[in-house]
Amino acid sequence: MKMTSICWPAPAKLNLFLYINKQRDDGYHELQTLFQFIDRCDHLTLSPNLSGIISLSPCIEGLKKEDNLIYKAAMLLKEFCPDDYGVHIDLLKNLPMGGGLGGGSSDAATTLVALNYHWELNLSKQKLAKIGLSLGADVPIFIHGKAAVAEGVGEKLQDVYPREDHYLVAVPDCHVSTATVFNDPHLPRHRAKQAITELMTQIWHNDCEPCVKNNYPKVAKVIQWLVEYAPTRLTGTGACAFSTFATALEARLIQKKAPPWLNVFVCKGLNRSPLDLFLSKLK
């Protein structure tokens, strides 16, 4: 076991497009989506020990430890190590919950990758991704660590290299329920699947955006403001929207114009995850 305490990044992602192909008999939706990482992260400090206990700090109000994806991820890896292996995980939360930036899934993925390193389990990325998929459809992309088009329910990944633009991300004061979006009878569910080359060379959209705007007026208000300045889309099935700029300076100029009721930040798109880069430097 590597006992040294290490602070690990858990980066956010954007869905640069999101298309829904069909709803399966089991209720899940098949989709095509483009994941790209951004340089905005939660941070998890892992301190391995021989207590046999998984402990977390700080406590998240309204969320039991047993329901926390970080705890669930750690417990799944406990099956692969001696009983006395334990860890304390301290979370510095920067990413909004329910925002569509993948914060919870990224935290879970970082937990799996970091514990695989600290506990010297030597599980492959493919094995970690399979474990992660049981926690959420977005977990595998954070373990994969490279920008990719995802298909199926999000687990089939093909590397791509979109332009690494700068983004202004807006965080409305609301939490979007993924279940509400996918249960909306007006959600389009029959977009024909397209080849990767087609997907990468067209104007991008998010099939969930109209439903989210209809159900969450705060999100609609934010997008209406942003779209005046630059191409703007919803990310994932969350509340956050992003506008695309060629330079950070352009994004920051619009950031200064943000109304006082809106939280915004500027970030850069990354085709390699900060977590994947961090891990490569440890090896």
Q: Give me the active site residues, please.
A: 13, 138
E-assigned strands of the chain?
6-23, 29-49, 54-57, 86-92, 148-151, 156-159, 166-171, 232-234, 241-245, 263-270
Look at phi and psi of residue 136 and say left if phi exceeds 0, alpha if psi is from -120 to 50, else beta.
Answer: left
Residue keyed to tokens 């956050």: 240
d(CA 219, CA 198): 29
3-state secondary structure of 151: strand
Measured over the CA atoms of residue 65, residue 113, residue 99 and residue 94, the dihedral's sign is: positive
3-state secondary structure of 271: coil
3-state secondary structure of 118: helix
Residue keyed to tokens 């994806």: 69
Q: From the CB of residue 124, how many other CB atoms can be counted at a distance below 10 Å? A: 9
